[in-house]
Amino acid sequence: MRLEVFCEDRLGLTRELLDLLVLRGIDLRGIEIDPIGRIYLNFAELEFESFSSLMAEIRRIAGVTDVRTVPWMPSEREHLALSALLEALPEPVLSVDMKSKVDMANPASCQLFGQNWIACATIPPHN
């Protein structure tokens, strides 16, 4: 479950959100803070009653203007968009890390090196 919390920039607001989750025994999987007044929370699905109660409590926090569920965290949405773009590109594209290990390879780059899609993702690093 992912929530988008619309809020004012106020010292301690994020802490209050996290305290609510801790009090309810909710294990936070991820948090992202957008500088334009949004906080994104990712945690396991809740039963309807617990979820409704949590949403009401979040709305009562000073500085929170609204809260709603969203399908993706911002970083997940960016990752999906980048993956779709890379897969659709006809040109070969590789991304390598600091140790020369291939992080990402699109189908065109795999075809260029004569590798299948799975083998291409496991190209060993070289020096």
- Rounded to 10 deg, the angle between the 13-23 and 48-60 helix axes is 150
Point out the least confidently predicted range of 10-14, 65-69, 102-106.
102-106
Q: Which residue has the tokens 């301690």?
A: 12
Residue ranges covered by each domain of the chain: 2-74, 89-120
Coil, helix or strand at residue 87: helix
The pLDDT of residue 125 is: 47
- Top pLDDT among 102 and 74 is at 74
Taking the C-alpha atoms of residue 95 and residue 83, their distance in angstroms, rounded to an integer, is 12
CA 55 to each of CA 11, 59, 101, 110: distance values in angstroms, whole numbers, following the listed order: 21, 6, 43, 46
89-113: average pLDDT: 87
pLDDT in tens, 43-97: 999 999 999 999 999 999 999 999 999 999 999 999 999 889 988 999 998 888 9
| Structural fold of domain 2-74 | Alpha-Beta Plaits (3.30.70)
